[in-house]
Amino acid sequence: MSITQTMYTDRIAKLVQLSRERHVFSFTRFDWVDDISEADWWVSPELLTIYGTPYYEQATEAQRKLLSKWECINLFSLNVTGEQELISGVAELLHTPMLKEANDYLHHFIDEENQHMWYFAKFCENYAGKIYGNKKLQITTLKLDPRLAVLVRFAQIFIFEEVGHYYNLKIALDDRVHPFIREINEAHRNDESRHITFGRILLARLAEGITEDYPPEVLQTISNHLRKYVQVTIESLYNPTMYRDAGFASGIAVRSALLSHPVRQEFHTRELLKKVLALLGDTNLIQKETSFEPDYQS
């Protein structure tokens, strides 16, 4: 996708307008329920990380529902830690010349993410008494010029947001899931659809011409780095503590078995990551010629 400067500024102006028209004040918008039963669905059963494997087949409905609680807490915790990282990363880029056309929008971006982080954290504390920690890949050691640094940062944000959005959309529409959880997913997806549109525009605009502007080895380094980021993002969905909280004997063993299961790998590449890999391939941020073969052993 080629984006001219006029298209770029027009689309960002439209996103600013939408953020202002649809601005909500999340701190007072929800009627927080007293509690949510472990006999409810917290995420759709088909979205469970055990889906399509013997772990799912062997579980009772009660066990699947209990796991759905902890998978929901894991997804929401990943939002909290991911949004925290995102806000600090975007804040560092405010007022940089390369992003001057996007500067107004970046303020809305931070404002919206701050509200999301607040309600996801409150949800986890209210209904589970904790937020799961998440070790993010330390990949800031790459020596990059300002353009590549911005591209890598927003590519990471795009990966994180697209994966989260996949779950938000499905859960918001699933009437088996507890209505309050659906409402949170619905609220989040409304803001996130704009963030993802922004990410697509920004990456397409800034990545235009990178194959002429940089030598192949630099682009290969970026590609390797982003593949690693995708892999870590996928692995974070399989939190060992979540399996232990749901009553599995060994969280680590469940996680390794699931990450190497062909049905799960197929789901990642063909479904969950489909849009992410397409955009990163189209913009030459990941190399197209090699297929995505994640190394889950590392």
The conformation of residue 47, written as its DSSP 8-state character, comes to: G
Which residues from 192-231 bind Fe ion, rule CB under 5 A?
192, 195
Q: Would you give the binding string for Fe ion spanning residues 131-170, x where CB under 5 A is met?
A: ------------------------------x---------
Choose between 71 and 191: whose C-beta lies nearer to Fe ion. Answer: 191
Supply 257's token pair: 């078995």
Stretch that binds Fe ion, among 111-119, 135-143, 213-221, 276-284 (CB under 5 A): 111-119
Q: Give the type of residue at 61.
A: E
> Binders of Fe ion: how many residues, by CB under 5 A?
5
Choose between 165 and 227: whose C-beta lies nearer to Fe ion. Answer: 165
Q: Least CB distance from residue 264 to Fe ion, whole Å? A: 25
CA 2 distance to own-chain centroid: 25
CA 64 distance to own-chain centroid: 23
Give the side-chain half-sphere CA count within 13 A for 68: 27
Burial class (CB in 10 A: 0-12, 13-18, 19+), 6: exposed
Stretch that binds Fe ion, among 30-38, 115-123, 209-217, 288-296 (CB under 5 A): 115-123
Q: Least CB distance from residue 109 to Fe ion, whole Å? A: 7
Helix (H, G, I), strand (E, B) or coil at 145: coil
Choose between 108 and 178: whose C-beta lies nearer to Fe ion. Answer: 108
Per the DSSP assignment, residues forming a β-bridge with 177 are 41
Q: Least CB distance from residue 11 to Fe ion, whole Å? A: 17
Choose between 189 and 205: whose C-beta lies nearer to Fe ion. Answer: 189
Q: Least CB distance from residue 26 to Fe ion, whole Å? A: 10
Q: Least CB distance from residue 31 to Fe ion, whole Å? A: 21
User: What's the rounded Cα separation, in Å, for the pair 144 and 285?
Assistant: 14
The conformation of residue 101, written as its DSSP 8-state character, comes to: G
Choose between 64 and 189: whose C-beta lies nearer to Fe ion. Answer: 189
Return the residue of 11, 64, 116, 227 that touches Fe ion, per CB under 5 A: 116
Give the side-chain half-sphere CA count within 13 A for 110: 15
User: What's the rounded Cα separation, in Å, for the pair 289 and 168?
Assistant: 31
Q: Least CB distance from residue 192 to Fe ion, whole Å? A: 5
Choose between 26 and 68: whose C-beta lies nearer to Fe ion. Answer: 26
CA 275 distance to own-chain centroid: 12
Best CA proximity match to 199, nearest among 298, 109, 289, 111:
109
Choose between 185 and 223: whose C-beta lies nearer to Fe ion. Answer: 185
Q: Least CB distance from residue 116 to Fe ion, whole Å? A: 4
The residues, ordered by sequence, that sit 6+ positions from 60 with a Cβ below 8 Å of its Cβ are none
Q: Least CB distance from residue 126 to Fe ion, whole Å? A: 18
Give the largest CA-CA distance in the chain.
57
Burial 245-257 (b: 16+ CB within 10 A, else e): bbebeebeebbeb
Stretch that binds Fe ion, among 56-64, 109-117, 207-215, 265-273 (CB under 5 A): 109-117
Choose between 67 and 276: whose C-beta lies nearer to Fe ion. Answer: 276
Contacting positions for Fe ion (CB under 5 A): 113, 116, 161, 192, 195
